[in-house]
Amino acid sequence: MKGIRLDRWSGKLLSPRTRSSYLRQQTMQSPASRTQQSRFQSSSAAMEEDVIYEDDDASSSATSRHPSSPYPSPLPEAALHSAKLAALHARLALPKKLPLQTMARTLVDPSADPNICFNNASLAQLGGSIIALHVTEYLLCKYPRIPMSVLFAATYAYHGPKTLSIIAQEWGVQTAAYPGSEVDPGLLQFSKLAPGTKIGEIGSVRSDRRETWRRGISSRVVYDDEFGDTILKPRNEVESKPTETAYSNFVKAVVGSVYLHAGREAAKTFVKDHILSRHLQITSLLKFNEPVRELSRLCKREEFEYPVARILSETGRMSRSPVFVVGIYSGSEKLGEGAGPSLAEARIRASVAALKAWYLYSPGNNVRVPSDMESVDARPWEPVHIDIGEVIH
């Protein structure tokens, strides 16, 4: 697990000073008469009523702008008057330290506003790393023998784009028809693909282009993302599912904003309540091509006695639907049990049950993770079980 420097990122996001100006040009006027306008946004932890704006006409108010304002996203001051945004803030039980202005920023996708000072790109980057950290350490400490391929699938099931998109929709987040300054800040804003847009191909960005076909487990750990998938091309490529991506980035941005304004423990609790609390049938992720052979190699590696199949019970051997119950034993210890319409099928199912019992060993649901040591009153650390890994054949 790679370490991340969250303090370096958070310092850039929570600067008390006003951000650099973002020049917006009116497209309806001629180039000679266009007026450069600057918009500022502050991400301070306190909920402030006064938001700084700079305009050529100092007497003009941000709230009295015409709906055809050139800004691609709502002004921060509008967040204080949005009923949808306040309801979403209360529905998620977010800390009071998290201001509505930052909450409104989490709803602005980079496709709606390309300026990093006003979209949720930086918050989503921070929140995605925090989610990946807590999910990965939870799975590794709870299932220390889990294979890497199953770990990739489990992390994707917990915080993949599809899962985070479902979570955002369960929160009751609605999307805007089209982004703009007149849109309610409580709506998710992103730009949809225009009809006829050609989707760019997805490719790998590995350093050695000549060996992109060699994608083993070690290669996926080193070169690919946290799900073991190839990294997308540069961001100028068009993504195939903008709605799913916008919802996913919003959830990540919420976690990042909770970390910045409420602290590490609040972000960890938020991840546990909304992501790790979801039920995952992890046994369905384990697939074995040759379970009998893999079980025999596992017993040889662990210096167990050779596994032997024994009939425990049977019924209807001479009928059209017989049932055989077979147990796999290593010496006097039963490793697994399975039932099937034939002795061979029952033996295979018993071997699969034995392998699942081995790989899904868990010290319990309340296992401690490394991030628990960051608490001030943390108990002395007790090392967790570290397994040699899965059997490779």
pLDDT at residue 286, as a whole number: 92
Q: What are 50's two structure tokens?
A: 């006064």
pLDDT at residue 55, as a whole number: 40
pLDDT at residue 215, as a whole number: 65
Q: C-alpha 316: how far from its chain's center?
A: 50
Element (H, E) at 150: helix 148-159
pLDDT at residue 194, as a whole number: 63
Cβ burial of 210 (10 Å; 0-12, 13-18, 19+) is: exposed
The tokens 């599912």 sit on which residue?
241
Cβ burial of 139 (10 Å; 0-12, 13-18, 19+) is: buried
pLDDT at residue 384, as a whole number: 85
pLDDT at residue 38, as a whole number: 41
**CA separation for the pair 41, 51 (Å, rounded):** 7
What's 43's DSSP letter?
-
pLDDT tens by residue, 175-206: 998 888 888 999 999 987 666 555 543 334 44
pTM, two decimals, is: 0.75
Angle at 314 between CA 313 and CA 320, to 5 degrees: 165
**CA separation for the pair 253, 265 (Å, rounded):** 16
- Asked if 164 and 247 touch (Cβ cutoff 8 Å), the reply is yes
**CA separation for the pair 310, 352 (Å, rounded):** 15
pLDDT tens by residue, 345-370: 999 999 999 999 999 999 888 889 99
Q: What are 189's two structure tokens?
A: 């804003």
Q: What is the pLDDT along the chain (393 residues), one digit of tens a residue?
A: 445 455 544 545 554 333 334 333 333 343 333 333 445 433 333 333 333 333 444 333 334 434 555 788 888 889 999 999 999 999 999 999 999 999 999 999 998 998 898 999 999 999 999 999 999 999 999 999 999 889 999 999 999 999 999 999 999 999 998 888 888 999 999 987 666 555 543 334 445 444 455 566 666 666 676 677 776 544 433 444 788 999 999 999 999 999 999 999 999 999 999 999 999 999 999 999 999 999 999 999 999 999 999 999 999 999 999 999 999 999 999 999 999 999 999 999 999 999 999 999 998 888 899 999 988 888 898 888 888 878 765
**CA separation for the pair 256, 254 (Å, rounded):** 5
Helix, coil or strand: residue 24: strand
**CA separation for the pair 72, 62 (Å, rounded):** 14
Q: How many CA atoms lie within 13 A of 190 on its CB side?
A: 23
